[in-house]
Amino acid sequence: MSSNVIFFGWNRSVPGREQTSAEHFQEYLGYLSRLQQEGAIDSFETVLLSPHGGDMNGFFLIRGNNEALNALQGSDEWLNHVTRGGHHLEGAGAVRGATGELVMEWMNRWGSLIAG
């Protein structure tokens, strides 16, 4: 499994757009499932957070190799989903990240830069 990830998180639905958010959530799950079945991504996880007073209430963690995630984020379908999400979700955003053995690579890079 790849250590490269896209973290797509959000706070909550824009008030009055909850139904749109619920519908898009189901569509997005189908989209990610299709990408996984086609081999375009390795896997994904959906995480909903319990009420805690913070500004993040859920996220998708999408795993794939670096090239696959680059292609994904450059695709029209991805950009359409992210743009749609921005219309009905507060605080929606996607950022690249590292897990597993890639964490040490990132930390070693950071350590070499601060050392000197």
Domains and CATH numbers, the chain: 4-114 (3.30.70.100)
What's the mean pLDDT in 13-27?
A: 98
Q: What is the distance between the alpha carbons of residues 58 and 87, in angstroms, rounded to a whole number?
A: 17
Judged against a pLDDT cut of 70, whether residue 116 lies above it is answered with: no
Contact 32, 93 (CB under 8 A): no
Alpha-carbon distance values, 93 to 59, 101, 104, 107, 115 (Å): 9, 25, 25, 24, 32
What's the mean pLDDT in 86-113?
A: 94
Encode pLDDT of 50-84 as tens digits. 999 999 999 999 999 999 999 999 999 999 999 99
